[in-house]
């Protein structure tokens, strides 16, 4: 009997099945069954757009379950499967919420409505063998915005021109970008509270609402996930060359949508590598020869990529301004263009080092409650209060940053990215636009709120020192350096 039980256990392990997964697998089967029944009913009673969206939703849920099981096994934590399964369902539900706001409240006049129409036109012309461009509804928009319409059109070649399907797919892509960000944090900062970080990244209201539609935000978070994961592999305790592949791939994708954000990522990685190289000799020895070679190779590729990014970003700034436009004039133009509507405000435009602290606070935490003048800005102010509260209760975690940054250069990457983002987006003068745009930095900001507490860090250091001072009987052994792995 013992042999039989061992055989069954080995088969279960080989198949990747864990009995603890049973409730979630049964729940997933139930959800899929309900969706199938809904599709069968809606086929005769609803428009093509609706049931196409239901089929896409069914496929995404079905595909997500084994993918999430694989992620949980790779990370060695079944808790992660439970949380991520809930998170993907919530993300897809928020796609319906965004759909309601875009098409019921704003009557399709928002950017997502334009991207949907552009995607439908792209797919129709592709099938008919007609020239793909120009697409009338996107004429006059920057080329980066036109590319979102093209991406939507490519997806519609698979699903058909359904706005529901488009919203589900973009929200799903955003979710997987967040999964990569969580995995990157765990690799780069193994001492961090990755469970706390997972909950924050997956369920912060802005990160659920704004990217849950066709648009740049969802694609940017997906690409940011690739960048962060790659950077984490390069800057982690054991640098891995494949991290460079992820990072470069993510940056190249971002160059097509928001070149200035690609530059922020490159600058952050370059500074982080510099700090890592200038760390203490003990840290360098622990890194090892292979790790140093990996980072040097990545730095060489980084310099070449930075040249390309600067060229693309410079052309983007020139396209937004007049002849001979500079980055400064393009930012001024962004300020003037965004200072419209009922949510305009006076931003803290960073033009020198003295404005940086106020600019960071303005970009990350405004609107404040007393600045809210309509329901939308009131909701944004409520989340700002939530974020300020999280920062306040996390002070013992923030206090460990200086010590942790020397050990974990990934945190330097995060700091530089946040500062660069705050400076670059400090010219936005509309609360609605600012709330939507800052979803590209919030996952990085949340890293600082998931660092180990000061007392936890000191306890780890004492344990490492005690373990390193234990040697063979009768022999004196030097204490190991207080370096966490």
Q: In three state form, how does the secondary structure of 396-459 look?
A: HHHCCHHHHHHHCCHHHHHHHHHHHHHHHCCCCCEHHHHHHHHHHCHHHHHHHCCCCCHHHHHH
Q: Give the integer Cα–Cα distance in Å for 380 and 385.
A: 9
**What is the separation of C-alpha 428 from the centre of its chain, rounded to a whole number of angstroms?**
21
Phi-psi region of 323 (alpha: psi -120 to 50; beta: other; left: phi over 0): beta
The whole-angstrom separation of Cα 451 and Cα 407 is: 13
From CA 175, how far away is CA 222, in angstroms rounded? 7
Q: Which residues pair with 344 in a beta bridge?
A: 430
Domain with 172 in it = 21-109+162-453
What pLDDT, on a 0 to 100 scale, did the predictor assign at position 313?
46
pTM: predicted TM-score of the whole model, two decimal places: 0.81
Q: How many domains does the chain have?
A: 1
Torsion (CA) 43, 48, 50, 55 in degrees, nearest 10: 70
Please give the pLDDT value at position 410: 94
pLDDT at 5: 53
In a domain, 481, yes or no: no
**163-188 and 78-99 helices cross at what angle (nearest 10)?**
150
Q: Are 92 and 171 in contact (CB under 8 A)?
A: yes
The pLDDT, as a whole number, for residue 325 is 45
Number of residues that make up the chain: 485
Residue 305 lies inside a defined structural domain of this protein: yes
Print burial letters for 223-254: b (CB count within 10 Å at least 16), e (below 16): bbbbbbbbbbbbbbbebbeebbebbbebbbbb
Walk along the chain (485 residues) and give the pLDDT tens digit of each residue.
555 455 444 444 444 455 655 665 666 666 666 656 555 555 544 567 788 888 999 999 999 999 999 999 999 999 999 999 999 999 999 999 999 989 888 777 788 999 999 999 999 999 999 988 889 999 888 888 999 999 999 999 999 899 999 999 999 999 999 999 999 999 999 999 999 999 999 999 999 999 999 999 999 999 999 999 999 998 888 888 888 899 989 999 998 898 889 888 988 888 888 777 765 444 444 555 555 555 555 555 555 555 444 444 445 444 554 444 444 444 555 444 554 556 787 888 888 888 889 999 999 998 888 888 887 888 889 999 999 999 999 999 999 998 898 889 999 999 999 999 998 898 888 888 899 999 999 999 999 999 998 777 777 767 766 665 554 444 443 333 333 33
Residue 155 CA to residue 147 CA, distance in Å, equals: 12
Quick one: tokens of 341? Answer: 């509507």
Lookup: tokens for 289:
């020869």
* CA-angle at 450, arms to 449 and 451, nearest 5°: 100
Residue 13, domain member (yes or no): no
Q: What angle do CA 245, 222, 398 make, to 5 degrees?
A: 90
Question: Between the CA of residue 322 and those of 146, 312, 332, what are the distances in Å?
Answer: 20, 17, 12
Within a domain: 377: yes
Radius of gyration (C-alpha) of the chain in whole angstroms:
24
Establish if 90 belongs to a structural domain: yes
Asked if residue 367 has a cis previous peptide bond (ω within 30° of 0), the answer is: yes
pLDDT value of position 303: 52
Residue 427 falls inside a structural domain: yes
Structure confidence at residue 121 (pLDDT): 94
Query: Max Cα separation, the chain?
Result: 85
Instruction: Flag whether 122 is in a domain.
Output: no
Report pLDDT for 44.
Answer: 47
Q: Is residue 353 part of a domain?
A: yes
How confident is the model at residue 321, as a pLDDT?
47
């Amino acid at each position: 009997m013992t042999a039989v039980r061992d055989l069954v256990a080995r088969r279960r392990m080989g198949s990747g099945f864990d009995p603890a997964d049973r409730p979630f697998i049964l729940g997933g089967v139930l959800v899929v069954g309900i969706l199938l029944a809904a599709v069968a009913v809606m086929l005769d009673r609803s428009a093509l757009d609706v049931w196409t969206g239901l089929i896409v939703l069914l496929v995404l849920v079905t595909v997500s379950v084994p993918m999430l099981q694989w992620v949980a096994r790779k990370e060695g934590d079944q808790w992660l499967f439970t949380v991520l399964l809930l998170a993907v369902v919530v993300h897809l539900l928020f796609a319906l919420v965004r759909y309601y706001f875009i098409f019921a409240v704003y009557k399709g006049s928002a950017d997502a409505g334009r991207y949907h129409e552009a995607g439908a036109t792209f797919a129709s012309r592709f099938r008919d063998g007609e020239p793909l461009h120009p697409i009338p509804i996107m004429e006059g928009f920057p080329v980066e915005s036109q590319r979102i319409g093209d991406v939507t059109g490519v997806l519609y070649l698979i699903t058909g021109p359904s706005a529901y399907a488009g919203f589900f797919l973009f929200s799903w892509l955003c979710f997987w970008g967040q999964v990569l960000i969580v995995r990157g944090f765990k690799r780069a900062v193994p001492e961090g509270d990755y469970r706390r970080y997972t909950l924050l990244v997956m369920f912060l209201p802005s990160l659920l609402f704004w990217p849950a539609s066709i648009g740049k935000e969802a694609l940017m978070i997906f690409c940011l996930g690739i960048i962060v994961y790659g950077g984490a592999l390069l800057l982690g305790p054991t640098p891995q060359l494949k991290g460079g592949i992820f990072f470069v791939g993510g940056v190249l994708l971002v160059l097509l949508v928001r070149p200035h954000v690609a530059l922020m990522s490159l600058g952050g990685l370059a500074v982080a590598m510099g700090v890592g190289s200038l760390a203490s000799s003990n840290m360098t020895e622990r890194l090892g020869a292979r790790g140093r070679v990996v980072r040097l190779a990545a730095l060489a590729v980084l310099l070449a990529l930075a040249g390309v990014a600067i060229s693309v970003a410079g052309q983007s700034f020139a396209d937004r301004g007049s002849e001979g436009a500079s980055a400064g004039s393009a930012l001024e133009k962004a300020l003037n263009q965004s200072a419209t509507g009922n949510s305009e405000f006076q931003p803290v435009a960073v033009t020198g080092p003295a404005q940086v602290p106020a600019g960071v606070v303005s970009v990350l935490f405004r609107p404040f409650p007393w600045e809210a003048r309509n329901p939308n800005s009131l909701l944004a102010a409520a989340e700002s209060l939530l974020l300020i509260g999280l920062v306040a209760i996390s002070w013992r975690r923030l206090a460990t940053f200086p010590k942790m940054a020397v050990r974990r250069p990934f945190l330097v990457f995060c700091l530089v990215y946040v500062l660069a983002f705050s400076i670059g987006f400090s010219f936005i003068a509309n609360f609605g636009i600012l709330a939507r745009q800052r979803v590209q930095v919030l996952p990085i900001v949340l890293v600082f709120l998931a660092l180990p507490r000061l007392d936890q860090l000191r306890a780890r250091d004492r344990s490492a020192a005690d373990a390193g001072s234990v040697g063979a009987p009768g022999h004196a052994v030097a204490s190991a350096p207080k370096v966490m792995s």
